[in-house]
Amino acid sequence: MDSLLEKRNPAMTESDVLELEGFLPYRLNVLATLVSHSLARVYGERFGISIPEWRILATLGQFNEMTAREIGQHSRMHKTTVSRAVSTLEKRQLLARRPNDQDMREAFLAMTPDGQSIYAEIVPLARSFARDLTQDIRPEDLAVLDRVLAQLMGRLNASSMDREEEA
């Protein structure tokens, strides 16, 4: 760490420098990545499922049947990521398509019985992971964290809606 201090840009004053370690968007991103990858180890090793594949199964477990576009919107995944993961899940026969008679450009996606079986095994593992992650945090602190996260997400969702309306 001392070597990093020596590498600081001498042309920048303290007020000109943005230290990533204390920058909230960076910290949230790192935390999300660490949590996501740690959870992925739980289900990835056992079921051979990637993070995007798990998010699709989790979304379909919650909503039963959706289009790829709806899954992408709900899970905040890019359409290319969703498309690749859907393809993999279909090849493994964990997901099935049903044509959308109203719009032939898209299909409805749902888990197959094999997909539902894997989902049913992962849910308790995911819940246990979440409990273990927060076991040392007081319930009142978790409530504050939940409230703050909801506020941040609400603010960002509202601002992204404004941008979509402007486009």
Q: Determine the average pLDDT of the residues in 148-159.
A: 90
Q: Determine the average pLDDT of the residues in 53-76.
A: 95
Confidence of residue 47 (pLDDT cuts 50, 70, 90): very high
Alpha helices in 7-138 (DSSP H): 24-47, 51-63, 68-75, 79-91, 113-134
Angle between helices 79-91 and 68-75 (to 10 degrees): 120
Q: What class has domain 22-160?
A: mainly alpha
pLDDT at residue 8, rounded to an integer: 66
pLDDT at residue 84, rounded to an integer: 97
pTM over 0.85: no
The string of pLDDT tens digits covering residues 77-98 is 999 999 999 999 999 999 999 9
pLDDT above 70 covers a percentage of the chain that reads 86
Q: Determine the average pLDDT of the residues in 44-60.
A: 95
Q: Determine the average pLDDT of the residues in 28-42.
A: 95
Structure token pair of residue 167:
């486009």
When the pLDDT of each residue in the chain is averaged and rounded to a whole number, the result is 89
Phi, psi of 138 (to 5 degrees): -65, 145
11: pLDDT strictly greater than 80:
no
Quote the Cα angle for 64-66-68, to 5°. 135
Domain limits of the chain? 22-160
- What radius of gyration, in Å, describes the C-alpha atoms of the chain? 20
Q: Are 57 and 51 in contact (CB under 8 A)?
A: no
Quote the Cα angle for 117-119-123, to 5°. 125
Dist. CA 83–CA 67, nearest whole Å: 11
